[in-house]
Structures are given as C-alpha cells and as structure tokens.
Amino acid sequence: MSRPKFNRILLKLSGEVLMGKGQFGIDPATTGRVAGEIKRAREQGYELCIVVGGGNIFRGIAGAAQGIDRASADYMGMLATVMNALAMQNALEQVGVDTRVQSAIPMASVCEPYIRRRAVRHMEKGRVVIFAAGTGSPFFTTDTTAALRAAEMNCDALFKGTSVDGVYDADPKKVEGASRYDSLSFNRVLADNLRVMDASAVALCRDNDIPIVVFNIRDEGNLTKVLDGGGTATIVKNEE
C-alpha cells in the first residue's frame, strides 16, 4: 500500500538505535550511518527535526523499578538524551548538515534552551533541530516529547524509527507468525493497546491530526524510502 508523502517531518529515534549492535552506549559508525540518511533526506527537500531517546544510556522507568525515585530517574534519563543529541549533532555536522540542539532543561554551556519560535526559525533556514531532555518534566516519555514537538513545529507527520518494520498484532520478536498492519487508526491503537507509542503520545497525535509512521531505521537506506512513500512501514492516522 502506498503512503502519502510529507514535507516537514519529526523523526523520533530510540536511544537503542544509536548503540548499533552493542549492548549500551553510542556506536559512532551507526550514528554516522543514520546521519548520512538524514543528510540525503534533507537533500531531497524534506524539513527535519529530531527527538532522540536515552535508553542506550539510562532509562528512567527502569531506574525507578530498581528503587531510584521516579522523578530523579526520569531526570537522569533526560540527561542521557542530551548526550545522544550531542552525538547526533556531531555526526550530522561531520557530513555537512547544519544543526542546532535545543534542550528542555537549560544548559547554556552545551546547547540552546528550547524556544519554539527559535526552533521554527532554524528549520526555515534549513537546519536540522534536535530536541533534547524530553519535555523537561518527569513522568513523560520521549514518545510524548516527539508528539508534542511535532505539534509545536507544525509537522506533517511523526516518523518513529525503531528496530521493527511497523506495528504488529503481537511482538514479532517473541511471537512467530505475528501479523503486521499496513494502516491503523489512532482509536484502534488505543483500544487494542498496541504500544506503538505511549497512550498520551498517540492521543496527542490523534487530536492534532499528525500521522505516525513506524519503520525500521536499522535497515540502511530505509529512511529515504519510507519518506518517499515506499518501503515497509505502518501508518497510524485518523479515520477518514
């Protein structure tokens, strides 16, 4: 099934993508490959901004499960996303893509504070803006951050790059024969608890009519294929 093409995209990258085949941390080769794909997308005329997770370094909810205060654990996770954002910025600038990192937690020595109008202006000038530190508040995931920033930046769609090629009716890594959906409604995702993203992120995209496209970012060259409406992915959108 062909999907529509979009112009202004928010790309949500899980932290796990940046660790490549490792068990934790940041793999420079993988980060460089993703940066190359983002560069090709920019050269094709797409406007891009990015939200990156921090699960390759520290995941707040996992820390809370081990006894760390949940709010403190979430702040630790936000700081991990800043590290990933700086790594992504470095990789993009090495391939000639002008970028800005904006953090929801002000840290002037490292990056800009998040200011919506400034971020929009950066995108209008052709820069890739990387949003770090989540929403700046605990108890919200980077999925929710991605949905929020997509709405604030007036993005046409939210592209979620993961390690699977779409949304399935069961975990394809655990359930043999799990079926992939080509298209889903937001309400179906919420009703069936399909875990595309967390419920608040899905509801925010639904209410602002921002389609979510889930695809496998680990397949080399897949980002530009999916942006062009091809490749294998699942699109989640409002019912027509």
Of 1-10, 115-124, 223-232, the range with the lowest mean pLDDT is 1-10
Q: What's the whole-number mean pLDDT along residues 67-89?
A: 94
Closest by CA position to 26, among listed 53, 65, 62, 66: 53
* pLDDT more than 70, % of the chain: 99
Q: What pLDDT is stored for residue 3 in this prediction?
A: 73
Is residue 98 predicted with pLDDT exceeding 70? Answer: yes
Q: What is the pLDDT of residues 187-211, one digit of tens each?
A: 999 999 888 899 999 999 999 999 9
Q: How far is CA 47 from CA 9, 41, 82, in A?
A: 6, 8, 22
Q: What is the pLDDT of residues 117-143, one digit of tens each?
A: 999 999 999 999 999 999 999 999 999
Q: What pLDDT is stored for residue 131 in this prediction?
A: 98
Q: What pLDDT is stored for residue 235 in this prediction?
A: 94
Q: What's the whole-number mean pLDDT along residues 86-99?
A: 97
